[in-house]
Structure 1
Amino acid sequence: MPQWLEIMLRTVCAVIVLFLMTKALGKRQVTQLSFFEYLTGITIGSLAAYISLDLEANWYLGLIALGVWVLCSLLIEYSQMKSKKIRDFVEFKATVLIKDGKLLEENMKKERLTSDDLMQQLRKKDIFQIADVEFAIMEPSGDITVLQKRDTLPVTPKDLGVKIAPEKMPQAVIMDGKILDEPLRVMGYSQSWLRDELDKQGVKLKDVYFAQVDTFGGLTIDLYDDQMQQPQNQERALLFANLKKCQADLELFSLSTKDKAAKKMYEESAKEMARILQEVKPILNT
């Protein structure tokens, strides 16, 4: 057999085996490597190259070595799942870098982390002052987790006492100009509803590159032609404006009437309308 053909067959075989074994190791092998998994990844790559190019050696010996490494990695991962002591031995422990807004220099030296490196990581999380940090912890993966002080956090609807309706994950309902039926069913809508929404916005299906439905039934559209002007759907804004007008009318009626019973009714109705507006504002006023 010609050498070039043998190398081609060995490489194809190595790719297939490497893919299957990497799948067996799971997603964490790719996205969140531990120290041992990092070593395993390097070794598996070297063994795959050995299988492909070392024509003087038996290729199946490389496959055996590859299988042993993968088996060892799986056994260690299984042991880590069963024992915290093994996890602590194989992986690094989390290290506190900032506590109560103060740097812990000894821990930073232990992790070989400079203040510049730490500030860079904090800036990626939109934090520019160490004094704003309650805790910063370096995880075993090397990521830095930050807990800001409560008085520096942005105000949330919960802080204001505003109730927000639970959200569903937005679904893509049109891709490449084609309607996706399954996401539509997940959101509780039909093709006829989607076509009506497109008509309201003056858009044809063939012009739509991508469309997504959010929790509240809002349809976001991206057109093939980026220069084409797309009218915005103002239904929610108009509904919110009409509700505000109703509240203003009720308050005006309560001020203009001299009948005590009617005045009380209008005042109570205006207060109830204000309460309803507060609840629907996060949904309609977007």
Structure 2
Amino acid sequence: MQSYISLTTELIIGFFALLLLSKVLGKNQITQLTPFDFISALVVGELLGNAIYDEDISLRYVLYAIFIWGSLIYTIEMLTQKFRITRGLLEGTPSVVIAKGRIQFEELKKNKLDLNQLQHLLREKGVFTIREVEYGILETNGSVNIQRKQAFHSPTNKDLMIQSEEQELPLALIMDGEVIKKSLKRIQKTEEWLQNQLSSRGISSHRTVLYAEWIEGKPLFLQTYEATTPSETF
């Protein structure tokens, strides 16, 4: 019976300690969660878990550890609020991963982000093709915010009373210099057809292509590793 009372007491105290810590640190710990914030949350949870399940660790020592850890995080937040020069060092800076419609391959490498992950982040913003994006910015919390090209800005088709048409899902045919055979099979095209498309644009090998995207009825979207701007074949 005594063990249940002790466990209940520790859980209640730990619950309110974490609640107080979250209130002090503010909402940005959740809404703007950076990798460091995520690790900090894991550390705090681990500290409390040790107090609950490890009989050799007293709860007061864990509460003290949580207090010190929370104070350090709070100090960092205050520094970044008061001194702008510290924000880049302590919080990181956004990276432009798409500029003027072109994928910034070096920025992707620097941020350990591959093309599949970039596509996933764009789809979270409702963008299924890179050709619609003028600028894409990778934020410090790992999300991507975009500015669409002028042709894809509002007004919408509904505003202009334009009859809707069936849309096709874009397919990547080449990614990181490798042909995606599954995509070619899906659109019933061959590698020879793809090579002909590349040759018509003066591209000798698919290995020089960073990204190629296909949409039914649209030009083939191509970007090589060295190209200054993406191109579309007609």
Query: Cα RMSD (Å) of the superposition?
Result: 2.2
**For the residues of structure 2 that align with 1:44 and 1:69, how far apart are their CA atoms?**
8
Offset of 1:24 from its aligned partner?
1.2
Counterpart CA distance in 1 for 2:83 and 2:136 is 26
| Cα displacement (A) at 1:92 | 2.1
C-alpha separation in 2, matches of 1:69 and 1:61: 12
One-letter amino acid of the counterpart of residue 97, structure 1: V
Greater mean alpha carbon deviation, residues 114-123 or residues 64-73: 114-123
User: What does residue range 172-211 of structure 1 map to in structure 2 within 5 Å?
Assistant: none
Which one-letter code corresponds to 1:130 in the other structure?
A: I
Structure 2 equivalent of residue 14 of structure 1:
14
- Residue ranges of structure 2 left out of the alignment (5+ in a row): 161-234
C-alpha separation between the residues in 2 aligned to 1:30 and 1:89? Answer: 20
Q: Deviations over 1:41-79 (max 9, x none)?
A: 111101111222222233211111111111111111000
Alignment of 1:228-247 (within 5 A): none
2:56 partner amino acid: E
Aligned to 1:117: 117
Partner of 2:127: 127
Report the TM-score, using the length of structure 2 for normalisation: 0.62
Q: What is the alpha-carbon distance in structure 2 between the residues aligned to residue 73 and residue 66 of structure 1? A: 11
Q: Which has the larger radius of gyration?
A: 1
Name the % identity: 28
Residue of structure 2 equivalent to 1:54: 54
Q: Which moved more, 1:123-132 or 1:54-63?
A: 123-132
Counterpart position of 2:163: none
Q: Which residue of 1 aligns with 2:102?
A: 102
Q: Distance in 1 between matches of 2:18 and 2:120?
A: 36
Structure 1 residue 140: Cα displacement: 0.7
Query: What's the counterpart of residue 34 of structure 1?
Result: 34
Preserved CA contact (<8 Å) 2:125 2:145: no
Deviations along 1:181-219, one digit per CA (max 9) or x if unpaired, are xxxxxxxxxxxxxxxxxxxxxxxxxxxxxxxxxxxxxxx
Query: What is the CA-CA distance between 1:143 and the residue it aligns to?
Result: 0.8
Closer, same or farther: CA 48–154 of 1 in aligned 2, 3 Å? same
Q: 1:136, 1:147 within 8 Å by CA — same for their partners in 2?
A: yes
Partner residue in 2 for 1:245: none
Question: More strand per residue: 1 or 2?
Answer: 2
Which one has the bigger helix percentage?
1
- Number of residue pairs the alignment of both structures matches: 159
Partner Cα separation in structure 2 for residue 117 and residue 56 of structure 1: 44
1:146 aligns with 2:146: yes
2:34 maps to a residue whose letter is S
Q: How far 1:132 moved relative to its partner?
A: 2.1
Secondary structure of the corresponding residue to residue 57 of structure 1: coil
Alpha-carbon shift at residue 111 of structure 1 (Å): 1.4
CA distance in 1, matches of 2:128, 2:13: 51
Q: Secondary structure at the match of 1:36?
A: helix
Q: Alpha-carbon deviations, 1:92-141, whole Å to 9, x = none?
A: 21111111111111111111212122122223333233222110010111
Cα distance 1:33–1:126, how it changes in 2: closer, same or farther (>3 A)? Answer: closer
C-alpha distance in structure 1 between counterparts of 2:30 and 2:128, whole Å? 31
Moved more, 117-126 or 133-142: 117-126
| Pairing 1:76-91 to 2, within 5 Å after superposition | 76-91=76-91
1:70 aligned residue: 70
Could you tell me which runs of 5 or more consecutive residues in structure 1 were left unpaired when the two chains were aligned: 161-286
SS at match of 1:55: coil
Relative contact order, higher structure (CA 8 A, sep 6+): 2
| Structure 1 residue runs of 4 or more that deviate by more than 3 Å after TM superposition | none
SS in 2 for 1:126: coil
For 1:42, give the aligned amino acid.
L
Compared with structure 1, are the counterparts of its residues 38 and 125 closer, same or farther at alpha carbon in structure 2 (3 Å cutoff)?
Answer: closer
Partner of 1:169: none
Measure the CA separation in 2 of the matches of 1:55 and 1:84.
44
